[in-house]
Amino acid sequence: MNAPSYDAVVIGSGFGGAGAAHVLTGAGLRTLLLERGGWPRRDDQDWDQQAILIDKRYQSDSPLLVRQYGSSTFVPLHLNETVGGMSVFYGGASLRLREGDFARWPIKYSDLEPYYTRAEQLLGVHGQAGADPFEPPRSAAYPLAPVALTPPAQRIQQAARSLGYRPFPIPLALNFSDPARPRCILCNTCDGFPCKLKAKNDLTATLLQEAQVQGLEIRAGAIVTRLVRQGVRITGVEGVDKFTKQPFSFLARLFVLAGGAIHSPALLLRSGLGGPTVGRFLMRHCNGVVAGIFPFATNPAQIFHKQLCLADFYEDHRAAHGTATGIIQDIYTPASPVIRHFAPTGFKRIAGMVAGHIQNLLCIAEDEPLPENQVSLSAQRDVFGMELVQVQHRYTEADCARRDYLTAKARHVLRRAGAFLFKTYRLDSFSHAVGSVRFGTSPAESALDPNCRLWETENLFVTDSSFMPSSGGVNPSLTIAANALRVGEYLTQTYENI
């Protein structure tokens, strides 16, 4: 192959790719990052619920084919794609896993702790050490203090406290304090939307921006279609430009795959790589939302309030299920037209009418890794000629029991806050997908070694959320970032021998 050559090529610009690229570039390695999405646009439509949630202006040209909840048919699902990965759309909740969550991992919490601290610093997390009842030991305080709770979050705080719970501020990666950057104005379109102001500390505003200053090359719209293998080494990548449709190829000594828990296993499978576990053990958390309907407008100022977390129940299922239970978080309520759009037929009008009287709580429960929950390749092809990605998933009864346990607690809190009617619904998204290329201690039960190297190669490492052998009970981004920093450091220390 006669193609441009780099020290390292990174595929994907989410937490896994950006974290590794930041460290590699910082150590002076000539690094190229390939990302299939374009750059976030940062215009008025980025805060428009119709444009983002219904018209889906960032959706991928390559749908997934998803079969879930025991259905016999595959249904197309379009994920978003952009430089910065899902960090551009995320809610900024930045929590650490707890020590007990590492039971099935080849590393311990203490191995990851320094990188959690570093990730919190790089992502500018505002949090309050010691407030979370099950917080793991920390070597440093949060870099920044939380901002005051807004009225909808205060309502939840009062209700939860009166029930004896210990709500605490969600550690948030939003820019409330740095005057050198646009600051957060506490708008009500954050989770699920790009920040038009670039005040969210997504990766384009933090790690990728810093890495670019240090020499990282980012090529947007670059879809990697295949990893080229010679024996135990990956020698190059091949792909197609999403905008020009032109093919490309690049060579490197080191490759970091970070396409996310759906696309990374698919690329390995397309390249004929990976052992028997690649694509299997996909997890996504077992999430539910409880909507409480109040006799008053819950957020007349339309202000941000994803600020409060309850972790009181985190360990309640550890003895019985061997897993965390999970957490409850305050979450915004979409505008009336969006609620009407997604409400079931027959309920659309009434749902739209009560939208202003709703306050939601999101329940995030740990789900178990099952080999049959799987990413595989379909015989159907996308517009670029690549096999479409198939996803099959079902929850266990215990997963649903943990979620239902949390939704019952959430209803209790909302009732105490004044809600008189409740609607509980499950979340079908793959926004917390993890585990499909997991790390472990042997090739028989894992795809990656403890340093996230694909067992069968010398120079391919996987750093996105797919490395996680269990999902734990908190939002995953900080753990993915911390692990990518850990692996990045290992790569810079061992580069000459890789």
Ligand X SMILES: Cc1cc2nc3c(=O)[nH]c(=O)nc-3n(C[C@H](O)[C@H](O)[C@H](O)COP(=O)(O)OP(=O)(O)OC[C@H]3O[C@@H](n4cnc5c(N)ncnc54)[C@H](O)[C@@H]3O)c2cc1C
Q: Which is nearer to ligand X, 222 or 419 (CB)?
A: 222
Partner whose binding site includes residue 477, from ligand X, ligand SF4, none (CB under 5 to 8 Å by kind): ligand X
Q: Which of 384, 467, 379 is nearest to 65 (CA)?
A: 379
| Contact status: 186 vs ligand SF4 (CB under 6 A) | yes
Q: In the range 154-183, which residues lie near ligand X by CB under 6 A?
A: none
Query: Is 11 a residue that touches ligand X (CB under 6 A)?
Result: yes
> Under a CB-based contact definition with an 8 Å cutoff, are residues 34 and 238 in contact?
no
Q: Which stretch binds ligand X (CB under 6 A): 136-144, 246-254, 398-406, 477-485?
A: 477-485
For residue 487, give every residue at least 6 positions away whose Cβ sits within 8 Å of its Cβ, in sequence order, or none. Answer: 20, 256, 451, 452, 461, 463
Q: Which of 124, 146, 171, 192 binds ligand X (CB under 6 A)?
A: 192
34 or 363, CB closer to ligand X? 34
Q: Scan residues 35-74 and list those touching ligand X (CB under 6 A).
A: 35-37
Distance between CA atoms of residues 205 and 199, nearest Å: 8
Given 93, 123, 184, 480, the residue binding ligand SF4 (CB under 6 A) = 184
Q: Any residues with CB less than 8 A from the CB of 378 and at least 6 apart, and which?
A: 65, 74, 387, 388, 389, 390
Q: Cα separation of 204 and 13, whole Å?
A: 9
Q: Which C-beta is closer to ligand X: that of 389 or that of 419?
A: 389
Q: Whole-number minimum distance, CB 198 to ligand SF4, in Å?
A: 8
Residue from 476, 482, 488, 489 touching ligand X (CB under 6 A): that is 476
Please name every residue paired with 65 in a beta bridge, in sequence order, or none if there are none.
76, 390
Q: Is 195 in the site for ligand SF4 (CB under 6 A)?
A: yes
3-state secondary structure of 235: strand
Restricting to residues 85-114, name those near ligand X by CB under 6 A: 85-87, 89-93
| Spatial CA neighbour of 454 closest among 302, 293, 258 | 258
**Binding test (CB under 6 A) with ligand SF4, winner from 36, 126, 200, 403:** 200
Task: Please identify, using beta-carbon distances, which residue of 279 and 476 lies nearer to ligand X.
Answer: 476
Residues 266-305 that bind ligand SF4 (CB under 6 A): 304
CA–CA gap between residue 391 and residue 378 (Å, rounded): 9
How far is 16 from 422, CA to CA, in rounded Å? 37
Burial string for 453-475 (b: 16+ CB within 10 Å, else e) reads bbbebebbbbbbbbbbbbbbbbb
The answer to whether 89 contacts ligand SF4 (rule: CB under 6 A) is no
Task: Using the Cα atoms of residue 188, residue 194, residue 200 and residue 202 in order, give the sign of their dihedral.
Answer: positive
Tally helices (H) and strands (E) across the chain: 11, 17
Residue 49 binds which of ligand SF4, ligand X, none (CB < 5-8 A, kind-dependent): none
CB of 258 to ligand SF4, least distance (A): 24
Quote the strand ranges of 298-434, DSSP E: 308-310, 326-331, 358-365, 374-381, 387-393, 421-426
Binding site for ligand X (CB under 6 A): 11-17, 34-37, 81, 85-87, 89-93, 191-192, 222-224, 258-260, 263, 267, 431-432, 464-465, 475-478, 480
Binding site residues, ligand SF4, CB under 6 A: 174, 184-187, 189-190, 193, 195, 197, 199-200, 304
